[in-house]
Amino acid sequence: MEEKLKTLSKTKCNFRRGIAKWPKLEEQVKEFVLNHRKAGIALSTKMIIIQAVKISKELQVHDFKGTASWCQRFMKRHELRMRTRTRIAQRMPNDYEEKIINFHNFIIKQRKRKIFEIGQIGNMDEVPLTFDVPSNKTVEARGAKTVTIKTSGHEKNHYTVVLAVTADGNKLPPLVIFKRKTLPKEKIPRGIQVHVHPKGWMDEEGMKLWIRNVWKKRPGALLKKPSLLVLDSFRSHLTEPTKREFQMCKTEIAVIPGGLTSQLQPLDVCINKPFKALMREEWNKYMCDKNQHEVTNSGRMKRPGISKVCQWIKTSWDAVKEDIVIKSFKKCGISNALDGEEDELIYEDSSNESSSVHFDFEDSSEDEEFLGFPDSDF
Are 236 and 299 in the same domain?
yes
pLDDT, one tens digit per residue, over 305-344 is: 899 999 999 999 999 999 999 999 999 999 998 877 777 7
Residue 341 pLDDT: 73
Confidence class for position 170, pLDDT limits 50, 70, 90 = very high
Residue 244 pLDDT: 96
Are 182 and 244 in the same domain?
yes
Residue 139 pLDDT: 44
Residue 273 pLDDT: 92
Are 189 and 304 in the same domain?
yes
Confidence class for position 281, pLDDT limits 50, 70, 90 = confident
Lowest-confidence pick of 37-51, 110-124, 228-242, 311-325 = 37-51
Are 46 and 133 in the same domain?
no
Are 292 and 209 in the same domain?
yes
Confirm whether pTM is higher than 0.75: no
Are 209 and 129 in the same domain?
yes
pLDDT of 24 above 80: yes
Are 108 and 236 in the same domain?
yes
Q: Give the structural domain span for 74.
A: 2-78
Q: Does residue 358 contact residue 368 with C-beta atoms inside 8 Å?
A: yes
Domain annotation covers residue 369: no
Nearest to 249 by CA among 204, 218, 281: 218
Pairing of strands 121-130, 138-141: unpaired
Q: Report d(CA 100, CA 122) in Å as an integer.
A: 18
Domain annotation covers residue 70: yes
Burial 116-129 (b: 16+ CB within 10 A, else e): bbebbbbbbbbbeb
Residue 292 pLDDT: 64
Are 201 and 63 in the same domain?
no
Nearest to 377 by CA among 143, 76, 66: 76
Top pLDDT among 203 and 373 is at 203
CATH number, position 165: 3.30.420.10
Residue 160 pLDDT: 94
Are 163 and 59 in the same domain?
no
* pLDDT averaged over every residue in the chain: 80
Confidence class for position 252, pLDDT limits 50, 70, 90 = very high
